[in-house]
Amino acid sequence: MTECNRATTELQEEMQNRLSVNPDACLCIGNFGFIELEDTWGDEATIINTARISTTNQRLGSAADFTDRDRRLLYQLLRDQHGTPFETIYFRYRFIAPIFVLRQWVKHRISSWNEFSMRYRKPISAAYIPDLEARTVDGFAVLDEEAMAEYSRLMGNLFFWYEEQYTKACHRIEDARSHGVLPPKEGGRDPYRGRARELLRNALPVAAYSDVYWTVNFRSLMNFFNLRRKKDAQYEIRQYADAAYLLFSRRLPLLASVMEEVLAEKRNSENLPHP
């Protein structure tokens, strides 16, 4: 791989810092991937309180106040698909993942995305490198070590080409300015360098990493877990979904337990023979 650019070095430092200050909410994935559950709004008590708004003014303070009756209600609401109470709690994740994983992830549209933009900054100069497990199917490695060495060289060459061409473009722009061909740079974004970044990013692979903030309510998050943690989900997005689930379950263990119970019952019912 090519030498890391400044954006990538800064990101590496930030990941290490987050792992240090928030270790229970962060996980590393693959050779450069990362995910953190940065914040949550609401909890299991929020769900119960919103569901009971028409029946009582009594409010639970937190999941620590739950009785068996409250847990049964939480289970019944989720089992019977009373969806809106589960839309009242939110989760904000930050994850660093290959672009091809993002293309699958963004299909879960009932959520909010803010993604790192290569229009304004140079790319993260790191690409996803499949490990042995990622390239093995039923004990057979579909790509051997020689292929992986060529893969890694190709990724590195693409990032090197980007840096080389961007440096040349910047020198050309500044030379034109010095000769009066282009106007002097004013404050804010340089449109000439910006256009160079926009064009050069077209050559980068979908294995390149990107950086995303993802804000999602629990109803949508449950659907993401249900679909992307299945055995037939693509290996890479399943890694991220499993990591997101682990962080979620650490934060709200009661809700995670109830969700698993409901999803297990659903899977069992789907596998039952039809009469």
Using one digit for the tens of pLDDT, what is the confidence trace for 221-272?
999 999 999 999 999 999 999 999 999 999 999 999 999 999 999 888 877 5
Give the DSSP H or E segment for 140.
strand 140-141
What SS3 state is found at 220? Answer: helix
Which has the minimum average pLDDT: 55-64, 84-93, 136-145, 178-187?
Answer: 55-64
Query: Which one of 3.40.50.300, 3.30.1360.170, 2.40.50.140, 3.40.190.10 gives the CATH number of domain 6-42+89-134+207-271?
Result: 3.30.1360.170
pLDDT digits (tens, 9 = 90+) for 137-191: 999 999 999 999 999 999 999 999 999 999 999 999 999 999 999 999 888 889 9
215 token code pair:
């804000």
Q: What is the dihedral of CA 144, 147, 153, 157, to 10 degrees?
A: -140
pLDDT digits (tens, 9 = 90+) for 8-32: 999 999 999 999 999 999 999 999 9
What SS3 state is found at 132? Answer: coil
242 token code pair:
């499993």
* Catalytic sites, residue numbers: 228
Ordered DSSP codes for 19-80: HHHSGGGEEEETTTEEEEEEEEE--HHHHHHHHTTTT-S----SGGG--HHHHHHHHHHHHT
Looking at this protein, which amino acid is placed at residue 56? T
DSSP state of 232: T
